[in-house]
Amino acid sequence: MFSHDTLDHFPKVSLLDDATPIQRLERLEQTLGLPAKDIQLFVKRDDFNSLGGGGNKLRKLEFIVGDALHRGADTVVAVGGLQSNFARLTAAVCAKLGLQCDLVLTSPTSSMPNDFARNGNMVLDRILGAHIHIVPTGITGREFAHEIAAKLSRRGCNPYLVELGGSSPIGALGYALCAFEIENQMRALGQSVSSIVLPNGSSGTHAGLAAGMYLAGKNPALIKAFSVLAPKEIAHAATVEKTQAVLKLLGSSVEANPMDIEISDEQLGDGYGIPTDAMKAAVHQMARTEGLFLDPVYGGKAFAGLLSDLSSGHYQSGERILFLMTGGSPGIFAYANHFLDEPAFD
């Protein structure tokens, strides 16, 4: 029988303050007329951690940096987009632990607003003292990161290269642990969650959570993810594969069933990081009813999906829905122009 103590065998650094809070969204429930249907909404505040501005990636970094230190690394090399939240949090964790941090960042080829290159996470990465390398044209971020790591090794450093978004099986262990955290917290609230909604980018959060649910004896089919990066089929295949890899890493004989992984790409719009009207409406609604900031790239799109499912009658009476708030609010400042076009009040 699997016990959550199995996760204790993996090297880990402690980066979270405590269990992140689960809060009820009562004003939003009222605004949407949910009390009449006996539907309740909760948020798991994984954006709510002190280190580096918080966010889902801290859970992954607990195991990734634990592994890096175990292997004697003195430098962490992370790959991401210019506005990567994972890059910002890697830089913050390295600062706290006294490690060198090299960020290999890809820039979109099409013209981008000044805010995108010079605001949000880019500002924070610089404040945190990360070494920033912009990927030149003609080479992938991954290839360039390997070149940077080789250069660092020649200089006598011991670099540890992290997978995109920290979504390696080791990183995803953080969310396997989170599945147990959610289960315990909901039980303490006297509730049983019937649906968990979250964004899916590089799939590690979803895969880790799904693996943890299998191990906790729960059905991961109650998770619904909204892809913000890849079309549904690609995101689905990647998530099933990663879930299986996490189960294997944990020595479990459980087989991930593709039917248990539910992903929609209805909120993807024109692609990764490209704003949609539904995302903007979701960011506004969450802020104006609950005072909480969703990010425009991940949480905003996933929450738009939840709002759409609620209005189309996808959820039944008695449902208890938990939305995973994954952080990323610095991204708002990279998209400032999309939120400044509201008419001014008289």
The H or E element spanning position 325 is: strand 320-325
Give the residue closest to ligand PLP by C-beta.
328
Report, in Å, the least distance between residue 346 CB and ligand PLP: 36
Query: How far lies 204's CA from each of 128, 167, 234, 299, in Å?
Result: 25, 4, 14, 15
Asked if 84 is an active-site residue, the reply is yes
Burial 131-141 (b: 16+ CB within 10 A, else e): eebebeeeeeb
Considering the candidates 3, 50, 84, 195, report the single residue annotated as catalytic. 84
What six digits make up the tokens of 325? 């708030």
Report, in Å, the least distance between residue 80 CB and ligand PLP: 7
Q: Which residues bind to ligand PLP, rule: CB under 6 A?
A: 55-56, 85-86, 165, 167, 199-206, 295, 298, 326-328
User: Please, are residues 87 and 330 in contact by the beta-carbon 8 Å criterion?
Assistant: no
Question: Is 212 in a helix, a strand, or coil?
Answer: helix
CA distance 224 to 158: 39
Report, in Å, the least distance between residue 155 CB and ligand PLP: 29
| DSSP states of 22-69 | EEE-HHHHHHTT-GGGT-EEEEEETT--SGGG--THHHHHHHHHHHHH
Nearer to ligand PLP, 56 or 106 (CB): 56
What six digits make up the tokens of 134? 């912009």
Nearer to ligand PLP, 85 or 185 (CB): 85
Nearer to ligand PLP, 65 or 152 (CB): 65
Nearer to ligand PLP, 40 or 202 (CB): 202
Distance in Å from the first CA to the final CA of the chain: 64
Nearer to ligand PLP, 32 or 223 (CB): 223
Name the residue among 55, 22, 43, 40 with its Cα closest to residue 184.
22
Report, in Å, the least distance between residue 79 CB and ligand PLP: 11
Report, in Å, the least distance between residue 89 CB and ligand PLP: 8
User: Please, are residues 24 and 42 in contact by the beta-carbon 8 Å criterion?
Assistant: yes
Catalytic residues: 84
